[in-house]
Amino acid sequence: MPTADHATGSYPRTARTTPTRAAQRASWDRERVHGILDDGYLCHLGFVRDGAAVVLPTLYARVGERLYVHGSTGSYPLRTASGAPQGLPVCVTVTHVDGLVLARSAFHHSVNYRSVVVHGTARQVTDPAEKAAALDAIVDQAIPGRSADCRPANGKEAAATAVLAIELTEVSAKFRTGGPNDEPEDRELPHWSGVLPVSVSTGAPVAAPDLAAGVALPSYLTAQRSTNA
Amino acid sequence: MPTADHATGSYPRTARTTPTRAAQRASWDRERVHGILDDGYLCHLGFVRDGAAVVLPTLYARVGERLYVHGSTGSYPLRTASGAPQGLPVCVTVTHVDGLVLARSAFHHSVNYRSVVVHGTARQVTDPAEKAAALDAIVDQAIPGRSADCRPANGKEAAATAVLAIELTEVSAKFRTGGPNDEPEDRELPHWSGVLPVSVSTGAPVAAPDLAAGVALPSYLTAQRSTNA
């Protein structure tokens, strides 16, 4: 879904994607945004219900310039998006923590992180082919290669699953990298200063106790991964 | 801040803390909620701006039956909470991913997770003593023991930092544990099934290049931690 700004490599800035603070940590760069989204699979989906914000964790996948978000047909945002021809306004946020930044002063403590905030309108995916592809993408976002190695959903299962689609048009990233920004006069204080790296990793796969005989661990699970999810 | 329900060990259920689906995964148990909150330090803060939800990552601490959320005095939610005597309605969500659940069928793929959703009204913390204690708690939530080992904020720094307080009154947890729930008729399919554990860990601390001579790595950083953040 390229937009007019695709050629520039950046998402257009809007009032709500322009931060009120720490503007030097903001980015609208398409490649950076995609990279942050592609490094995760868990998002926090925000919407308004009865005038108040609700924030729920769920799974997502990026497919080009579109996010697919997983839901149940019984959940509020899905039912609302389904019943609203104009869609449901949402905010989708993805955050990775890369490190804890310890400065000599309490004030300069910080976090190295990468986050993306997507503002948009969610529509329910109703086309069966698009929905099947979106669900495959959501599985593969968390476990690349897995969607081709499991039984596809049957009709009843597909009907019990819902997917929301949000176009990536109003998007921004924020990030911090590097060490502590201590005040020059604090440098000789006797407090350790530096960065404690943080990462997400996967452990050894635990097979289901009733795994059929002869089913080997698939290659997409044999390589340990260490990414921020 | 004990409420009338404190004695029961559970938060009272309300319309918005009662899930529309997967009710067997919901909990209002105070101890469980506290445990999930205490295992993290990053939350996703949701609020309504110009009629739409906004979800931003930030740091938090739990102190008894209260959450403190970190912000800048220039940020929208802080400015809004500051200017609104009645406070700013917010939703604060904390999520830990514990594992990816691979079923033989695409439909039964799932995530082992623990999450807490807090609905409430954020007030800006203005009392200097409460604010200082809250900022210490936010530092210690991420790095236990650190607040006592750094230079406290001076007046200018304290003024440039803002803290929101949200009482834990309308709160629920959701979680999933265990292996895949495959259909009996799928058990003989030739697809690996089981759980891929996911965890957050910290790496070897990286000292600031200008660390003063003789400053040793503090004991609270020498033990590797492996928690979900």
A180 band by pLDDT with thresholds 50, 70 and 90:
very high
Residue A225 C-alpha from the chain's centroid: 17
B87 band by pLDDT with thresholds 50, 70 and 90:
confident
Distance CA A197, CA A175 (A): 15
Q: Per-residue DSSP letters for B88-143? A: EEEEEEEEEEEEEEE-SBGGG-EEEEEEEEEEEEEEE---HHHHHHHHHHHHHHHS
Nearest CA in chain B to A133: B106
Q: Per-residue DSSP letters for A30-77? A: HHHHHHHHHT--EEEEEEEETTEEEEEEEEEEEETTEEEEEEETTSHH
Q: Tell me what percent of the residues of chain B surpass a pLDDT of 70.
A: 87
pLDDT at position B83 over 70: no
Q: Tell whether the torsion through CA atoms of B208, B209, B211 and B217 is positive or negative.
A: positive
Mutate to test the interface with A, among B44, B166, B199, B225 (most CBs of A within 10 A): B44
Q: What is the pLDDT of residues B23-49, one digit of tens each?
A: 788 999 999 999 999 999 999 999 999
Residue A208 counted as domain residue: no
Strands (E), A126-193: 161-167, 170-176
Residue A90 counted as domain residue: yes
A1 band by pLDDT with thresholds 50, 70 and 90:
very low
**Does the beta-carbon distance from A16 to B151 stay under 8 Å?**
no
Q: What is the pLDDT of residues A86-117, one digit of tens each?
A: 789 999 999 999 999 999 999 999 999 999 99
Residue B227 counted as domain residue: no
pLDDT at position A229 over 90: no
Q: Residue for token digits 């594992």?
A: B99
**Does the beta-carbon distance from B194 to A208 stay under 8 Å?**
yes
In this prediction, residue B6 carries a pLDDT of 54
Size of interface A-B (CB pairs under 8 A): 294
Choose the closest CB to A203 out of B152, B197, B208: B197
Distance CA A164, CA A131 (A): 9
Q: Is B178 left (phi over 0), alpha (psi -120 to 50) or beta?
A: left
In this prediction, residue A228 carries a pLDDT of 43
CA distance B59 to chain A (A): 9
Residue B228 counted as domain residue: no
- CATH number for the domain harbouring residue A165: 2.30.110.10
Q: What is the pLDDT of residues A26-36, one digit of tens each?
A: 999 999 999 99
Closest CA to A97 of B31, B197, B229, B19: B229
In this prediction, residue B154 carries a pLDDT of 94
CA distance A64 to chain B (A): 22
Closest CA to A115 of A176, A171, A174, A67: A174
Choose the closest CB to A198 out of B52, B147, B202: B202
Residue B89 counted as domain residue: yes
Residue B108 counted as domain residue: yes
Mean per-residue pLDDT, A179-206? 96
Tally of domains in chain B: 1
**Does the beta-carbon distance from A194 to B211 stay under 8 Å?**
yes
Residue B59 domain boundaries: 6-222
Residue A211 counted as domain residue: no
**Does the beta-carbon distance from A153 to B191 stay under 8 Å?**
no
CA distance A33 to chain B (A): 16
B16 band by pLDDT with thresholds 50, 70 and 90:
confident
Residue A210 counted as domain residue: no
Mean per-residue pLDDT, B136-143? 98
Q: What is the pLDDT of residues A118-177, one digit of tens each?
A: 999 999 999 999 999 999 999 999 999 999 999 999 999 999 899 999 999 999 999 999
Please answer whether residues A116 and A82 qualify as being in contact, where contact means their C-beta atoms are separated by less than 8 angstroms: no
